[in-house]
């Protein structure tokens, strides 16, 4: 039973399937979902693989039910996940908020397709980036990861579960149709090589336990159902006991901690994969599938003698604010390619704070950003500098 959960070996596998294998390897044993292109392959493989690993797959009546069941299973002490795409992600928003407020570890994988509305079900986009950040009402912090290959679907799914258990919140994997459907080499390591972060459990007896009394890092130990703690969990604003308290002071305590537990640990959460940054004067910042085009363009630019660099965002939320702030003053330009009309570029602009120009290379969905388009932007930024010199 346990041996089958980690399918150690080398595969030519698509991203959706790699996501499943990552989940199973890190101990996910519950999946509730609803079919939607291009995330259906995740549900299909989970339905086949979970019973082999002693877990349960259930196909719910809609995405509202899927995410609710995932939260319920997580409180039942089981690592749980769901997967979806744009329309389903929209439907899940309210209960992602419940997961944030009740601090419920779980993973949601959004294999993005082009919107708005039904949009292009079978074609790629990166249009849900801001929705991942702000889609549920109220103010909160999230963690979202952006894989750019099937291998990263495997690796980041493992990390998503570990982060969700460590910081107690739904962690979102922002994949896309191309990553989901693309086959590439996926190496699944041996079981003992996989890092698994466990759930922090209460260390005091039930009568002394306060379910939302946090440790110094802002995260509270979690008592699951049936462990004798008999706690109350609510989406209402609650105090340390988990009891609803309807006043501004409790609201401040609670939301401040929900935000602080992410912002205060951002150095442990944020990961970027940087290339050629040391001497770069033009930096392409990219994530997900577009980061591959970006790397292609940056290599081309380097071969032309342009000092281009690359920041590949592995975590898109929280955003690497400090890195951008430090870099921006020494740069001629920051460039962000994304398959939307400009979402993460807003964050890039905010962090650059006017210290250097920020350029968007946009594709509105249905196809990938060609490396040539990014290279053009790099060249333009490069020439822009020469022009200025002449003017001077």
Binding site for other proteins (CB under 8 A): 10-12, 30, 32, 51, 56, 58, 60-62, 64-66, 68-78, 80, 94-95, 97-98, 121-122, 178, 181-185, 225-236, 241, 243-244, 292-293, 295-296, 299-300, 367-368, 370-372, 375
CB of 243 to other proteins, least distance (A): 6
CB of 337 to other proteins, least distance (A): 12
- Packing angle of the helix pair 86-102, 63-75 (nearest 10 deg): 30
Nearest to 179 by CA among 292, 88, 32, 26: 292
Q: What's the gap between Cα 12 and its chain centre? A: 24
CB of 185 to other proteins, least distance (A): 5
Q: Which is nearer to other proteins, 92 or 280 (CB)?
A: 92
Q: Which is nearer to other proteins, 183 or 330 (CB)?
A: 183
Contact 282, 332 (CB under 8 A): yes
Contact 339, 365 (CB under 8 A): yes
CB of 170 to other proteins, least distance (A): 13
Using CA atoms of 76, 78, 79, 83 in order, give the dihedral in degrees to the nearest 10.
Answer: -70
Q: Which is nearer to other proteins, 21 or 347 (CB)?
A: 21
Q: Residue 78's CB: how many other CB atoms inside 10 A?
A: 17
CB of 229 to other proteins, least distance (A): 7
DSSP string, 141-198: --EEE---SHHHHHHHHHHHHHHHHHHTSEEEEEEEHHHHH-EEEEEE--GGGS--PP
Contact 366, 125 (CB under 8 A): yes
CB of 371 to other proteins, least distance (A): 5
CA 70, CA 102: separation in Å to the nearest integer? Answer: 13
Q: Under the phi-then-psi rule, with left for phi > 0, alpha for psi from -120 to 50, and beta for the rest, what region is 77?
A: left
CB of 14 to other proteins, least distance (A): 8
Cβ neighbors of 383 (< 8 A, separation 6 or more) are none
Q: Which is nearer to other proteins, 134 or 243 (CB)?
A: 243
- Packing angle of the helix pair 15-26, 40-52 (nearest 10 deg): 40
Residue appearing with tokens 């009891």: 243
Using CA atoms of 262, 265, 268, 272 in order, give the dihedral in degrees to the nearest 10.
Answer: 60
CB of 329 to other proteins, least distance (A): 29
> Which DSSP symbol is given to 115?
-
CA 287, CA 265: separation in Å to the nearest integer? Answer: 21
CB of 322 to other proteins, least distance (A): 28
Q: Which is nearer to other proteins, 67 or 144 (CB)?
A: 67
CA 189, CA 198: separation in Å to the nearest integer? Answer: 19
Q: Which is nearer to other proteins, 77 or 342 (CB)?
A: 77
CA 362, CA 258: separation in Å to the nearest integer? Answer: 33
Q: Which is nearer to other proteins, 10 or 203 (CB)?
A: 10
Q: Which is nearer to other proteins, 234 or 330 (CB)?
A: 234
Residue appearing with tokens 């989940």: 23
Q: Which is nearer to other proteins, 11 or 167 (CB)?
A: 11
Q: Which is nearer to other proteins, 341 or 372 (CB)?
A: 372
CB of 214 to other proteins, least distance (A): 20
The tokens describing 115, both together, are 């919107």
């Amino acid at each position: 039973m346990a041996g089958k959960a980690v399918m150690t070996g080398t595969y030519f596998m698509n991203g959706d399937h790699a996501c499943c294998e990552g989940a199973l390897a890190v101990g996910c044993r519950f999946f509730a979902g609803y079919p939607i292109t291009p995330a259906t392959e995740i549900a299909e493989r989970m339905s086949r693989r979970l019973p082999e690993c002693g877990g349960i797959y259930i196909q719910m009546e809609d995405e509202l039910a899927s995410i609710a069941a995932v939260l319920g299973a997580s409180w039942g002490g089981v690592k749980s996940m769901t997967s979806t795409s744009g329309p389903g992600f929209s439907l899940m928003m309210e209960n992602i908020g419940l997961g944030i407020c009740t601090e419920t570890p779980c993973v949601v994988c959004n294999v993005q397709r082009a919107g708005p509305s039904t949009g292009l079900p079978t074609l790629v986009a990166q249009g849900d980036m801001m929705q991942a950040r702000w889609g549920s009402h109220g103010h909160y912090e999230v963690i979202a990861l952006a894989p750019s290959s099937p291998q990263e679907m495997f690796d980041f799914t493992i990390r998503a579960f570990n982060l969700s258990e460590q910081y107690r919140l739904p962690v979102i994997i922002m994949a896309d149709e191309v990553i989901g459907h693309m086959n590439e080499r996926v190496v699944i390591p041996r079981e003992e090589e996989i890092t698994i972060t466990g759930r922090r459990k209460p260390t005091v007896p039930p009568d002394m336990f306060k379910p939302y009394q946090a440790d110094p890092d802002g995260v509270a130990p979690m008592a699951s159902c049936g462990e004798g703690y008999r706690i109350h969990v609510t989406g209402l604003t609650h105090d340390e006991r988990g009891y609803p308290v309807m006043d501004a002071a409790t609201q401040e305590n609670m939301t401040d901690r929900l935000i602080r537990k992410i912002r205060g640990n951002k150095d442990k959460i944020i990961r970027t994969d940087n290339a050629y940054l040391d001497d770069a004067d033009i930096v392409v910042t990219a994530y997900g599938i577009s980061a591959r085009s970006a790397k292609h363009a940056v290599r081309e630019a380097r071969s032309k003698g342009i000092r281009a660099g690359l920041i590949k965002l592995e975590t898109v939320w929280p955003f690497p604010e400090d890195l951008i702030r430090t870099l921006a003053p020494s740069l001629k330009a920051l460039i962000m390619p994304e398959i939307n009309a400009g979402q993460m570029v807003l964050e890039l602009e905010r962090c650059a704070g006017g210290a250097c120009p920020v350029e968007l290379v946009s594709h509105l969905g249905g196809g990938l950003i060609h490396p040539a388009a990014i290279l053009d932007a790099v060249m333009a930024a490069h020439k822009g500098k020469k022009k200025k010199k002449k003017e001077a």
